[in-house]
Each structure stands twice: as structure tokens, then as C-alpha cells.
Amino acid sequence: MSVLVLGGTGEARALAERLDGAGVPFVSSLAGRVSRPRLPVGPVRIGGFGGTDGLASYLCDEQITAVVDATHPFAAGISAHAADACARAGLPLLRLQRPGWSDEPGAHRWTWVDGHDAAAAAAVEAAVRGGTVFLTTGRQTLDRFVGPLASCPTLVRVVEPLGIAAPDEWTVLESRGPYDLAAERALMHEHGIRVLVTKDSGGAMTRAKLDAADELKVDVIVVRRPPAPAGVRTVPDAEAAARWAAAPAAAGTPR
């Protein structure tokens, strides 16, 4: 029995700790999009698989018996590849995904949109009332905001350098969470934030910005999560995923 953990999240690292402690053979896979990732315990491979075909070949070559998809809620591509590859190989697949923020206090006051283009349009409309836009959607989708927000004062927070030319009106802040309420409140005060743009990542690590925005009456725009692959069981925490991965059924029951 060997479990493949598709990782890159805090939940994936917590799962690796539990599997390691329980003596369950596993390997964690990271996409390699961050140059200095937080590594989990245990064996780690870094880099893509080459789509569904590459992942299916890896599952066969490495004699993987179960897969836990613990990637980011917005990593729709790898989640789809995992579902297809596991179906092709007849392997069990579990989705470990932290709950989103749609049921959180204050969520009914936020503007929810279905994609980054819609978020950019909503941000431009909100920015007309003045102040600075706080953009926290991650660097991989920033190209969707460059044009619409080129002339808007914008604070962009990313973990690593943008990789694209930032408009003159943008201020780039390289920073890695977690963030607490006091720090987020101070940051918004310092930069005169009036609009927060984020995505429904969920979890506690970046939740404080939403609390600060509510306190300061900042407009909040949230990108909804992409739909998960159909038919894949989902659990909300590492403990449940570890129980599933350690169970004998995980070694031979397709998803």
C-alpha cells in the first residue's frame, strides 16, 4: 500500500504528519510553482505529471494504491486530472478540501462572483468611489486584473515576485501568511483600502483580512470556487483523510 498525496496546502502537510506517524507509506507531490515551498514530512516529489496521461503512468509505475487530492481549492486542473487518472487506473480517490467562507459571518454582505474577470469588473466599479484596491487572489491570475485596474491605486499581496510588469499605480507586497487581525487592520489603514478582492480559499490562515474588511466597512469581492470533479468523496480535515488512507478499503476500492 502506498498513498499519493497531491499537496501544496496546510491540510496536505498535516495529512503527511499523520500518515508518517501512523506508519502509512506515502509520497507527497508538489506542483513546483513556488520556489521556496513549505515541505511536508516524508518523501516529496516536485513538478507536474504532464496531465492525465502522465499521472496515470506515475500511479502505475510507482504502484500507488490510493490518492488523496489535497491541493488548493482553486487547483481545478490537477483535481480533474486526478479524477480521470484514478478512474482509468481503478484506484480510490479522496478529496481533502478545507471548508470555504460562504457560511461565515458577514459572507452575505460580500459580492460573490464566478471568476477573476468578473472580480476585476466588480473591483473597477467599486473603486470608482475612491480608495485603494487590495488584491489577494494570487499571482497566477493577476493578468486578468492588469488591464481593468491599470489606473486604479492597487495593493497586490503575493508570496513571490509577480512575473509580470505591474502598472505604475500598483504597490506590490511580497508576504507569506498566516496573518492576524491586528496586522490586517493596520495594513488596510496604512494603504487606505476601500475594496478587497480575494477568492474563496477558506481556512484560518488568511481569514483575518475578511474580518478586518468587515470592521472597516471595506467592500469585499470574493471569487467562488470552481466545481469539484463529480463523484469524488470529500472530507474537510486531515484527520478524516488520514483515517481513510490508513483503512484497508483505501488499498482496493475505487472512488
231 and 212, same domain (yes or no): no
What is the domain count for the chain?
2
138 and 214, same domain (yes or no): yes
What CATH number does residue 180 fall under? Answer: 3.40.50.1220
What's the chain's length in residues? Answer: 255
Q: Find the Cα–Cα–Cα–Cα dihedral 8, 58, 88, 242, rounded to 10°.
A: -40
234 and 202, same domain (yes or no): no
88 and 164, same domain (yes or no): no
Q: How confident is the model at residue 204 (pLDDT cuts 50, 70, 90)?
A: confident
Q: For residues 5 and 15, is the Cβ–Cβ distance under 8 A?
A: yes
149 and 182, same domain (yes or no): yes
Q: Tell whether the model's pLDDT for residue 252 goes beyond 70.
A: no
pLDDT of residue 195: 97
191 and 207, same domain (yes or no): yes
Q: How confident is the model at residue 253 (pLDDT cuts 50, 70, 90)?
A: very low
Q: What is the spatial distance between Cα 192 and Cα 217, in angstroms, rounded to a whole number?
A: 12
89 and 113, same domain (yes or no): no
Q: For residues 70 and 203, is the Cβ–Cβ distance under 8 A?
A: no
Q: Tell whether the model's pLDDT for residue 250 goes beyond 80.
A: no
139 and 58, same domain (yes or no): no
92 and 111, same domain (yes or no): no
Q: Residue written as cell 483580512?
A: 209
Query: Which domain covers residue 149, as residue numbers?
Result: 107-223
pLDDT of residue 255: 41
The model's pLDDT over 130-187, given as tens digits with 9 standing for 90+, comes to 899 999 999 889 999 999 999 999 999 999 888 889 999 999 999 988 899 999 999 9
pLDDT of residue 1: 66
The model's pLDDT over 42-99, given as tens digits with 9 standing for 90+, comes to 999 999 999 999 999 999 999 999 999 999 999 999 999 999 999 999 999 999 999 9
7 and 36, same domain (yes or no): yes
Spell out where 70-177 has E strands. Answer: 93-96, 111-113, 132-135, 154-158, 170-174
The model's pLDDT over 101-117, given as tens digits with 9 standing for 90+, comes to 999 888 999 999 999 99
Taking residues 13-30, what's their average pLDDT? 96
Q: Average the pLDDT over each of 32-36, 122-126, 140-144, 170-174 and give the range with the smallest value.
A: 32-36
Q: For residues 223 and 4, is the Cβ–Cβ distance under 8 A?
A: no
112 and 187, same domain (yes or no): yes
Write the Ramachandran bin of 63: left for phi over 0, alpha for psi from -120 to 50, otherwise beta.
left
